[in-house]
Amino acid sequence: MYESMVTAMRKVAVVAASSRQEEKMLDTEVEMMIPLISKVREETGLNQTEIGFTCSGSSDFLAGQAFSFVMTLDAVGPVPPISESHVEMDGAWALYETWVKFQMGAIDTALVYSYGKPSPGSLQDVLSTQLDPYYIAPLWPDAHSIAALQARHLLEQDEISHEDLANCAVRAGTVQSQEEYFDQPMLADPLRQADCPTYADGGVAMILAAEGKAEELCERPAWITGIDHRIDSHHFGVRDLSAIPSAKKAASKAGVYDAGIDLAELHTSYTVHDILLRKELNLPLDPTRSSKNHPIKAETLMASGLLRIAEAARAIWEQEANRVLAHATSGPLMQQNLMCVLSGEKG
């Protein structure tokens, strides 16, 4: 069944993307998204009447009010009426819903965007509310402590080393050298500050188009040649903390292993997660080319995953790579994983 769907897969490409991240923004979500959405429409020459579908990703919980995404639609414009959808997830999952809409043959163009503003509160504490409500959430462990639990497990199993963590922190840009890394105090033993994310407000907007239209809108479209997402158990007690089965399954279904990957844009907020995911996907721990803006250095809840896809597309537009893996994750200890392969060729 899956194979027949792949052979009939409609070709879809990312043709424009715009993003913004800052440690703390005074702008509202609407003010933040207006220039980003306007930029991608201007780059493609499309107005809203020519966009067949609009899909967004954000968190009402993070915004502190119900249906907050409805107000952010003001950034798109109230006129004309639009076909619109929303996911309470990272924008990468909004892109997946949009891709499915393309496969149905319902649209030829689409606008996808997502945003988040974690600056008003302590995000690593708030994330405890997504944990198992009976066994784990009542203990109120913060996100750093949960990641540290996995890191300690991997260290004691000799699956990773402190040097691996230090090298990853250097590659992510949170420190300049191993010496600087080891001089830092522990934040959540065995993780140091350089191992943990610095949160940022921000947003991403992009336009997708189907074959035939994409070539008109972009000189070198970034074609989605494979995409899939999977989920692991919500209960830590039944998960192997040394593995991420959902990531491997999604990568296999998305065709990650079918050919070489020139560049990997991974949504990993902790060094331990970056190392573990690279091991799971058979990617080099010390890649020759790294992300320009690593999530550890600037993590935007609900937008970092979509930003990885935007950065992967930019690498293709700028001819830095021809086949790029973009990854998004959600949930505690990388519970949910989405893999999207972009290529400069239709495939």
Q: pLDDT (tens digit, 9 = 90+) per residue, 184-227?
A: 999 999 999 999 999 999 999 999 999 999 999 999 999 999 99
First to last CA, the chain: 20
Q: Determine the 3-state secondary structure of 32 from DSSP.
A: helix
Do 242 and 260 sit in the same domain of this protein?
yes
How many helices and strands in the chain, by DSSP H and E?
13, 11
Cα atoms found within 13 Å of the Cα of residue 202, Cβ hemisphere only: 25
**Does residue 50 sit in the same domain as residue 92?**
yes
Query: Peptide bond before 190: cis, by omega within 30 degrees of 0?
Result: yes
CA 138 to chain centroid: 28
Split at pLDDT 50, 70, 90, the class of 346 is confident
- 3 confidence band (pLDDT: 50, 70, 90): very low
E strand or H helix that includes residue 239: none
CA torsion through residues 329, 323, 282, 19, sign? negative
User: Tens digit of pLDDT for each residue in 258-269?
Assistant: 989 999 999 999
Question: Where is 188: in which H helix or E strand?
Answer: strand 186-188
CA 24 to chain centre: 20
pLDDT tier at 2 (50, 70, 90 boundaries)?
A: very low
Where does residue 48 rank: exposed (0-12), middle (13-18), buried (19+ CB within 10 A)?
A: middle
Residues 202 and 72 in one domain: yes
Residue 4's pLDDT is: 36
Helices (H), ranges, 8-74: 29-44, 60-63, 68-72
Residue pLDDT, tens place only, 30-66: 999 999 999 999 999 999 999 999 999 998 888 777 8
Q: Are residues 63 and 117 in the same domain?
A: yes
Q: What is the DSSP string of 188-227?
A: ETTEEGGGSPPB-EEEEEEEEEETTTHHHH-SS-EEEEEE
Cα separation, 110 vs 200, in Å, equals 26
Q: Are residues 150 and 45 in the same domain?
A: no
CATH of the domain at 242: 3.40.47.10
Asked whether the predicted pLDDT for residue 102 surpasses 90, the reply is yes
Same domain assignment for residues 180 and 286: no
Is the domain of 93 the same as that of 138? Answer: no
* Whether residues 211 and 70 fall in one domain: yes
* Mean pLDDT score of the chain: 92
d(CA 42, CA 339): 28
Residues 141-182 have pLDDT tens digits of 999 999 999 999 999 999 999 999 999 999 999 999 999 999
Average of per-residue pLDDT across 84-95: 96
184 and 202, same domain (yes or no): no
pLDDT at position 289: 72
Domain span including residue 95: 2-121+198-217
What is the rounded CA–CA span in Å between residue 317 and residue 14?
10
Claim to verify: residue 6 and residue 108 sit in the same structural domain: yes
The closest alpha carbon to 294, from 282, 280, 311, 279, belongs to 311
Residues 128 and 203 in one domain: no
Give the tens place of pLDDT for each residue, 106-148: 999 999 999 999 888 777 788 888 899 998 999 999 999 999 9
Could you give the number of structural domains in the chain? 3
Whether residue 160 is found in the same domain as residue 114: no
Q: How confident is the model at residue 8 (pLDDT cuts 50, 70, 90)?
A: low
